[in-house]
Structure 1
Amino acid sequence: MRDKDKIKLTKEKREDMISSIKEYFYNERGEELGDLASSQILNFIIDELALEFYNQGVYDSYKYMTRSINDLLSVQKY
């Protein structure tokens, strides 16, 4: 992902996500991760996976808008 396209997080949101990653690994795998490891996982998700989630959101929005426009045509008067 290019730097200009990279997801930007506030400090608070980043800390919340790191905390969520740590909690997930502890609850699901019994592993205690530190801040550095959790931060690296978050960076990996942002750098390698986020684009797919973004593109899926764009596609889902496109489908919704297309259905909405088609619904709009149904209210025409003849």
Structure 2
Amino acid sequence: MSSIHDPRYKNLIKELIKIRELKNITQVELATSLKKPQSYIAKVENLDRRIDILELHDWLSALDKSINDFLVCCFEQ
């Protein structure tokens, strides 16, 4: 199984989407904060592109979320 299809990775991405949506931040707004095109956000959220730990850190920082809290939440279940 490809790691992008691992249920744990899918859950991680679902949580990122949930955080972004709860904060009423659009893909465009998040992309602007990250200095990336909107298509980057869409590809990650659609599981077409993986993100590494550094990108995850930047993504969460843009959403004003602690990476420690996020990881505990994602893998606690």
TM-score normalised per structure 1: 0.29
The structure whose Rg is larger is: 1
**Relative contact order higher in (CA < 8 Å, ≥ 6 apart):** 2
